[in-house]
Amino acid sequence: MSVRVRMAPSPTGFLHIGGVRTFLFNWLFARGGGGECLLRIENTDTSREVAESVAHIERSLGWLGIDWDAETTFQLDRLERAQEEAQRLVAEGTAYEDEGAIRIRMPDDGTTGWDDAIKGRIEFPNEQLEDLVLVRSDGRPTYNFASPLDDWLDEITHVIRGDDHVSNTPKQLHVLRALGAEPPIYAHVPSVFGEDGRKLSKRHGAISVDEFRLAGYVPEALMNFLALLGWAPDGETTLMSRDELVERFSLERVGSNPATFDYAKLDWMNGVYLRELPPDEYADRLVSYLREQGSDWPDERIRAAAPLVQEKIGRLGEFASFAGFLFHDVEPDPSLLDERVLTAAAEAMSRTEPWTVESIETSLKHLCDELGEKPRTVYLPIRAAVTGSRVSPGLYESIELLGKEESLGRIRRAGKLAP
């Protein structure tokens, strides 16, 4: 049996990262099995907002590295087919009309069950199932009719979705049986919670692909991280490439307990991916990221600064606060400044030639000896004067890149601000 799955988002605003994790599981399962992954938009109208949302969904999935087979389809594409099938069920006696709507008859006793590929055997008492509306009085099919109908017509073999859909499954099984369709294999993946044990939401932090992209996460790291939300290949391996994830993913290793979204772990993982990039590629990514943010800082200086920050920052979004002093004036905290040190530093640095990391290091070390102070006492006010912060890239490298004239100007101005 050839695997065919579907990603079925609703076009209702941003793409929640929990849903993206579920789409990723679909994609990994299909790609690992040599199958197909479809993208179906479960819309209830065809407004301009839907078109904009679909473009956003496609863009977000594409950035993350999740592709799909064939063109994107829409739930309402089969509006007439849904109406025809509902009328067929009425004619066959398994459904009936009710004040303009069409309902399917549900059994009154017994249970409806299925073998879930993740949760195991699940049984639902039929007495809890009300006769389901298939088509509303305005002619639009309901989700619990249109979704299984599309799964049948699209020849979906596995429905991999969030466990908030477990209660929909017995209803959809009855719909499929009434249609004369063979049900797919259902696999309900665990929810994604924040560290407080509550469903992941804005109160925990970023929750959309766009937010993570804007914060400076790279897609490889985010994909790796999302794959581990509820799945683990062996309980030990953490860092895996896209190809490794495809090769190793299996539904058997997906747990049934809620997954915890650990932002600190994602930051760590993103930092690892950034540090492992070849220097030229890191610089390219940094320039592209800053351009997306609307920055007009010179490419040449960004690329020159890239080696200073690659080992230091965990997200590309941290570059502006960490190395922004290379592109604009700074306002150092006067409490970090020392007039004696800065006056001596300006004098020593004015004699430094050539203006290289090695010469700057030599000058500053000699300055420590002349002042009879330890480097941390001398370097802090100089760092604050030059970078505007007590934390920055390497001091020697920063001063070299900033240039002699600008560095001396900042040191002298800061000396006048010192208390």
10-19 pLDDT per residue, tens = 887 678 899 9
Residue 94 contacts by C-beta under 8 Å, 6 or more apart in sequence?
Answer: 104, 105, 178
Using one digit for the tens of pLDDT, what is the confidence trace for 279-338?
Answer: 999 999 999 999 999 999 999 999 999 999 999 999 999 999 999 999 999 999 999 999
C-alpha pair distances (Å), 321 with each of 221, 288, 363? 22, 17, 27
- The amino acid at residue 333 is D
The pLDDT, as a whole number, for residue 383 is: 97
* Token digits of residue 155: 């020849």
The structure's pTM equals: 0.92
Q: At what angle do helices 404-417 and 375-387 cross, to 10 degrees?
A: 100
**Cα–Cα dist 80/105, whole Å:** 21
Query: In whole angstroms, what is the distance from residue 342 CA to residue 143 CA?
Result: 70
Residue with tokens 């495809």: 246
DSSP 163: G
4-71+192-260 shares its CATH topology with 75-189: yes
| Per-residue pLDDT, 1 | 66
Q: Identify whether the C-beta of residue 227 lies closer than 8 Å to the C-beta of residue 219.
A: no
Domain covering 75-189: architecture: 3-Layer(aba) Sandwich (3.40)
Domains in the chain: boundaries: 4-71+192-260, 75-189, 278-319, 334-416
Peptide bond into 107 cis (omega under 30): no
100 and 108 Cβ atoms separated by less than 8 Å? no
**What does the pLDDT read at residue 201?**
77
pLDDT at residue 12, as a whole number: 78
Query: Any alpha helices (H) in 65-120, and if so which ranges?
Result: 79-92
Pick the CATH number of 278-319 from 2.170.15, 3.10.20, 1.10.8, 1.25.40: 1.10.8
Q: Given its phi and psi angles, is residue 375 left (phi above 0), alpha (psi -120 to 50 degrees) or beta? A: alpha
Which backbone phi and psi does 398 adopt, to 5 degrees? Answer: -65, -45
Q: What is the DSSP letter of 356?
A: S
pLDDT of the chain along its 419 residues, tens only? 699 999 999 887 678 899 999 999 999 999 999 999 999 999 876 676 788 889 999 999 999 999 999 999 999 999 999 999 999 999 999 999 999 999 999 999 999 999 999 999 999 999 999 999 999 999 999 999 999 999 999 999 999 999 999 999 999 999 999 999 999 999 999 999 988 888 887 788 768 899 999 999 999 999 999 999 999 998 889 999 999 999 999 999 999 999 999 999 999 999 999 999 999 999 999 999 999 999 999 999 999 999 999 999 999 999 999 999 999 999 999 999 999 999 999 999 999 999 999 999 999 999 999 999 999 999 999 999 999 999 999 999 999 999 999 999 999 999 999 88
Asked if residue 89 lies in contact with residue 175, where contact means CB atoms within 8 angstroms, the answer is no
Tokens representing 29 are 């399962």
CA distance 19 to 25: 10
Asked whether the CA dihedral 115, 118, 124, 130 is positive or negative, the reply is negative
**SS3 at position 289:** helix
CA distance 40 to 167: 21
Question: C-alpha angle with apex 120: 189 to 128, nearest 5 degrees?
Answer: 85
Burial class (CB within 10 angstroms; exposed 0-12, middle 13-18, buried 19+) of 75? buried
Topology of domain 4-71+192-260, CATH: Rossmann fold (3.40.50)
Contact 174, 3 (CB under 8 A): no
User: Among 3.40.640.10, 1.10.238.10, 3.40.50.2000, 1.10.10.350, what is the CATH number of 334-416?
Assistant: 1.10.10.350
Tell me what pLDDT residue 381 has.
Answer: 97
